[in-house]
């Protein structure tokens, strides 16, 4: 019996980007199950409402996709809730395709540059 090989990830694959600024923390990653989607995780204290989330993807070919991600199931633990979101990039995405990702958490804007 031949040993199983681990599947090699595609070059330029974004594993996870983490952002922490004052009371805002979140992570963003390309979904490993379907690389058309971005996953966003925003932990919040359990006694506050989730902040609105918006995202804008700018690609190296100068195209742009914007919108609000869909809220997914959330998990609570230790007084915090991990709000999970999923955003459709409308095409397969590799890190090498992205020029920037802009995410608004409430009224705060964050520009992420993967290069």
pLDDT tens digit sequence for 71-92? 998 888 888 899 999 999 999 9
Q: How far apart are CA 4 and CA 67, in angstroms?
A: 40
Lowest mean pLDDT among 8-22, 36-50, 54-68, 101-115: 8-22
Is the confidence at residue 105, as pLDDT, over 70?
yes
Q: Is the pTM of this model over 0.85?
A: no
- Whole-angstrom CA distances from 113 to 9, 33, 69, 81, 106 are 21, 23, 19, 27, 20
- Whole-angstrom CA distances from 37 to 50, 59, 72, 94 are 21, 14, 13, 11
Q: Which residue has the higher pLDDT, 109 or 4?
A: 109
Residue 112 is given by DSSP the state E
Q: What is the pLDDT of residues 4-53, one digit of tens each?
A: 333 334 444 445 677 888 888 888 889 889 999 999 999 888 887 888 99
Domains of the chain: 17-112 (2.60.40)
Q: How far apart are CA 44 and CA 50, in angstroms?
A: 7
Is the confidence at residue 106, as pLDDT, over 80?
yes
Is the confidence at residue 2, as pLDDT, over 90?
no
Percentages of the chain per state (helix, strand, coil), in multiples of 5: 5, 50, 45
């Amino acid at each position: 019996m031949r040993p199983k090989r681990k599947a090699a990830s595609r070059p330029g694959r974004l594993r996870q980007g983490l952002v922490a600024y004052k009371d805002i923390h979140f992570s963003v990653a390309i979904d490993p199950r379907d690389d058309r989607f971005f996953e966003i995780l925003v932990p919040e204290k359990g006694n506050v409402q989730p902040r609105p989330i918006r995202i804008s993807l700018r690609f190296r070919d100068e195209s742009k996709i914007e919108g609000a991600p869909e809220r997914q199931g959330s998990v609570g633990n230790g007084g915090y809730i991990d709000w999970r979101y999923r955003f459709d990039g409308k095409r397969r995405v590799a890190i090498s395709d992205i020029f920037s990702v802009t995410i608004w958490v409430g009224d705060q804007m964050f520009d992420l540059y993967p290069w």
